[in-house]
């Protein structure tokens, strides 16, 4: 006689593979069941039967998770890509190898409702810099350090150093980008300590509320942050975002830039970012959906209006720091699931339309031309293992208005070529 096989299934615990950024599973008090396979010799209509188990208390144990993300590339970049000029040397190509990102990720569950996340970063690439010098030794910095407490699905609080933005691209995870890097203009004033908003690679210190309503279709984010503060008395920076998902819900803290055919997403959002007389209003649309038998399409578009205002009397004024402008952005790609290839294109445009108070001693029309620019590019991604391991080849151009004489400008375009490898685990 075959020996009986006892299979224990606990319906409360899901060990199904979860999204890479999901928090660890939280232990809960649930009821389970036994599934018993009976010997075939027994005269029954079925060879299986089930019996109920009593409620089981599973004690909570704190957990921790480690990971890393690395971007390294070989590149060629014309000197004028970052510092445009009419000098002939601006067309010269700088070549070299760079370690662009090297992050260590640490996360964990502290209690059934509290979790934390920390992340380090190198503050500048290791390799050839934009000035042509070689940088070989960089001390890491703390990039993220946040504590999250989940009161309910509709209300969570995240406190600490965290990614801050009112638009989708500014809230994407670096591992899930479709293009080779983040956009140039989606949060251009929040990148460094000497930026107008005194950010840290898009991060800021503060507290953020987040939640999901309407069957997880509607997501809100609303937070207050330090922003620019020169004497401890500055008004707080307020950032908000409201997104509606018409198809699948999105609950990851960091948005994906492409989903490689996994799921169906159509999300539309509006957002704002304000401090003192600085305002930033935005709207964005993201679409990721299977298209045909070959694979899936990804489209990501956004529009922003920004201004530092015209009040020059306040010591907290942004008037001379952030000129009035609009930003348009579009990414479009298609993932071929068979060969695991994804071609993509990107377009961005930063159109400065400054007020006289913002341009200072420069005529506004001249100020606008010098500070406006656009970016176009495209590339091809190969995914060995999704976002875990991939290779990206890209060519990007940036176009400026370069002065040739007083009130006379000509458009100059400079190129950048990257071959980037990524590995990511968390």
Same domain, 26 and 143: no
* Same domain? 178 vs 36: no
Position 407 scores a pLDDT of 81
Instruction: Give the residue-averaged pLDDT of 274-302.
Output: 97
What confidence category does residue 51 fall into, taking pLDDT thresholds of 50, 70 and 90? low
Q: Which residue in 209, 205, 198, 183 sits closest to 344, CA to CA?
A: 183
pLDDT of 3 > 60? The answer is: no
Do 119 and 103 touch, CB atoms closer than 8 A? Answer: yes
Rounded CA gap, 306 and 276, in Å?
13
- Tens of pLDDT along 207-222? 999 999 999 999 999 9
Contacts of 371 (CB under 8 A, 6+ apart): 323, 350, 352, 354
- pLDDT band (50, 70, 90) for residue 16: very low
Do residues 226 and 163 share a domain?
yes
Q: Are residues 259 and 344 in the same domain?
A: yes
Close Cβ partners of 43 (under 8 Å, ≥ 6 residues apart): none
Query: Do 116 and 183 reside in the same domain of the chain?
Result: yes
Q: Would you say 291 and 266 are in contact if contact means Cβ atoms under 8 Å apart? A: no
Same domain for 300 and 346, yes or no, is yes
Q: What pLDDT sits at residue 52?
A: 60
Q: Give the C-alpha separation, 423 to 390, whole Å.
A: 7
Query: Which CATH number characterizes residue 344's domain?
Result: 2.40.160.10
Same domain assignment for residues 40 and 94: no
Same domain, 268 and 162: yes
372 has a pLDDT exceeding 80 = yes
Name the domain count of the chain: 2
Q: For 92, list phi and psi in degrees, rounded to 5.
A: -65, 145
Q: What is the pLDDT of residue 10?
A: 36
pLDDT of 377 higher than 60: yes
With contact defined as beta carbons under 8 Å apart, do 259 and 289 qualify?
no
Is the same domain home to 319 and 363?
yes
- Host domain of residue 19: 5-56
Q: Which of 40, 56, 72 is the last residue of a domain?
A: 56
Length of the chain: 426
pLDDT digits (tens, 9 = 90+) for 393-422: 999 999 999 988 888 899 999 999 999 999
Structure tokens given for 123: 């503050």
Q: Based on the domain organization, do 47 and 68 belong to the same domain?
A: no
**Where residue 184 falls among pLDDT bands split at 50, 70, 90?**
confident
Residue range 223-267, pLDDT digits in tens: 999 999 999 999 999 999 999 999 999 999 999 999 999 999 999
- Residue 54 binned pLDDT confidence (cut-offs 50, 70, 90): low
- What integer pLDDT is reported at residue 35 of this predicted model? 45
pLDDT tens for each residue of 275-285: 999 999 999 99
Residues 33 and 147 in one domain: no
- Residue 13 pLDDT > 60, yes or no? no
Of 17, 38, 56, at which residue does a domain stop? 56
Is the domain of 20 the same as that of 115?
no
Segment 58-117, tens digit of pLDDT: 889 999 999 999 999 999 999 999 889 888 889 999 999 999 999 999 999 999 999 999
Question: In this structure, what are the phi and psi dihedrals at residue 74, rounded to the nearest 5 degrees?
Answer: -110, 140
pLDDT digits (tens, 9 = 90+) for 120-165: 999 999 987 766 678 888 899 999 999 999 999 999 999 999 999 9
pLDDT over 50 (residue 313): yes
Distance CA 152, CA 148 (A): 12
- What is the residue whose two structure tokens read 């060990």? 15
């Amino acid at each position: 006689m075959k020996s009986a096989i006892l299979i224990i299934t606990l319906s409360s615990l899901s060990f199904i593979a979860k999204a890479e950024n999901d928090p660890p599973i939280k232990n809960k008090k649930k009821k389970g069941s036994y599934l018993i396979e009976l010997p075939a010799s027994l005269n029954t209509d079925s060879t299986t039967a089930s019996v109920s188990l009593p409620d089981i208390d599973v004690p909570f144990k704190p957990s921790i998770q480690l990971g890393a993300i690395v971007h390294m590339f070989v590149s060629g970049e014309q000197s004028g890509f970052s510092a445009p000029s009419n000098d002939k040397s601006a067309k010269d190509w700088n070549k070299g190898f760079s370690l662009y990102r090297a992050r260590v990720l640490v996360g964990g569950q502290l209690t059934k409702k509290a979790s934390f996340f920390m992340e380090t970063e190198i503050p500048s690439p290791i390799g050839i810099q934009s000035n042509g010098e070689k940088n070989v030794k960089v001390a890491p910095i703390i990039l993220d350090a946040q504590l999250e407490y989940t009161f309910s699905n509709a209300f969570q609080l995240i406190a600490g150093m965290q990614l801050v933005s009112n638009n989708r691209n500014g809230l994407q995870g670096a591992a899930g980008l479709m293009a080779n890097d983040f956009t140039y203009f989606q949060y251009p004033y929040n990148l460094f300590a000497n930026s107008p908003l005194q950010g840290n690679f898009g991060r800021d210190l503060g507290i953020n509320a987040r939640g999901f309503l309407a069957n997880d279709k509607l997501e809100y984010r609303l937070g207050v942050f330090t922003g620019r503060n020169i004497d401890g008395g500055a008004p707080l920076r307020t950032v908000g975002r409201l997104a509606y998902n018409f198809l699948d819900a999105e609950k990851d803290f960091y948005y994906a830039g492409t989903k490689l055919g996994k799921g169906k997403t159509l999300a539309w959002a509006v957002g704002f970012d304000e401090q003192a007389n600085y305002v930033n209003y935005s709207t964005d649309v993201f679409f990721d959906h299977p298209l045909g038998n070959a694979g899936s399409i990804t489209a990501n578009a956004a529009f922003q209006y920004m201004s530092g205002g015209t009040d020059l009397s306040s010591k907290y004024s942004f008037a001379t720091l952030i000129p009035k402008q609009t930003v348009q952005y579009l990414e479009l790609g298609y993932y071929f699931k068979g060969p695991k290839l994804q071609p993509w294109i990107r377009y961005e445009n930063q159109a400065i339309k400054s007020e006289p108070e913002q341009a200072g001693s420069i005529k506004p029309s001249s100020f606008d031309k010098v500070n406006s620019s656009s970016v176009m590019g495209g590339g091809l991604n190969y995914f060995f293992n999704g976002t875990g391991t991939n290779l990206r080849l890209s060519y990007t151009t940036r176009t400026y208005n370069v002065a040739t004489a007083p009130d006379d400008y000509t458009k100059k375009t400079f190129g950048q070529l990257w071959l980037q490898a990524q590995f990511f685990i968390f």
